[in-house]
Amino acid sequence: MKIHNTDIVGCIVLEPIIYKDSRGDFMETFHKAELEEALGYPIDFVQDNQSVSHKNVLRGLHFQRGKHAQAKLGRVIQGSALDVVVDLRKESPSFGKTVTIELTGENRLQIFIPKGVAHGFLALENQTVFSYKCDAYYNRESEAGILYNDPDLCIDWGIPDEDLILSEKDRALPLFKQLYS
């Protein structure tokens, strides 16, 4: 697989090799040793998640606090999503930076989201299937997030605000500066 760095330190994009033949195609969706080599540290995923979203559903921007912080490896299996990560690590040279990437069932790209970074995505098609691995278990009490349209983050979701579909929980998330002032 090919590894691409992003503007957020430690957040990388993985481009798998796709082997096509007369039957269809094949790819490796996860290779622990190659990922660890790219990251330079060990990673142990303990939970796999999958969500299915209607077009214009926005999930995020989420993270878990403290010892429940999660690194994630995400991809779209079907449909397409605009994936967004925000660096919340105060000590990071890319603190406050945002990375946006389109993940689709066709481009097969994967994003590695390090601990300490908020994550969200917008489904660009109906029946968008988003699958991700996490290196720490879900912990309801540690759930946290940042409001998707925080003016300080300037994320261009590409569609009018009134068309977005969000959970009540996500609409009530705080602003970046409320968390980091």
Ligand X SMILES: Cc1cn([C@H]2C[C@H](O)[C@@H](COP(=O)(O)OP(=O)(O)O[C@H]3O[C@@H](C)C(=O)[C@@H](O)[C@H]3O)O2)c(=O)[nH]c1=O
DSSP assignment, residue 57? B
> Which residues ranging from 135 to 164 are in contact with ligand X (CB under 6 A)?
138
CB closest to ligand X, residue no: 138
Minimum distance, C-beta of residue 143 to ligand X, in the bound complex (Å): 7
60 lies in the site for ligand X, by CB under 6 A: yes
Q: Binding string, 39-58, against ligand X, x = CB under 6 A?
A: ----------x-x-------
How many residues contact ligand X, by CB under 6 A?
A: 10
CB count within 10 Å of CB 62 equals: 17
Closest distance of CB 50 from ligand X, Å: 9
Strands 98-104 and 80-87: antiparallel
167 is a site residue for ligand X (CB under 6 A): yes
Per 3-state DSSP, the chain is made up of helix, strand and coil in percentages (nearest 5) of 15, 40, 45
CB of 171 to ligand X, least distance (A): 12
133 touches ligand X by CB under 6 A: no
Catalog residues that contact ligand X under the rule CB under 6 A. 49, 51, 59-60, 62, 119-121, 138, 167
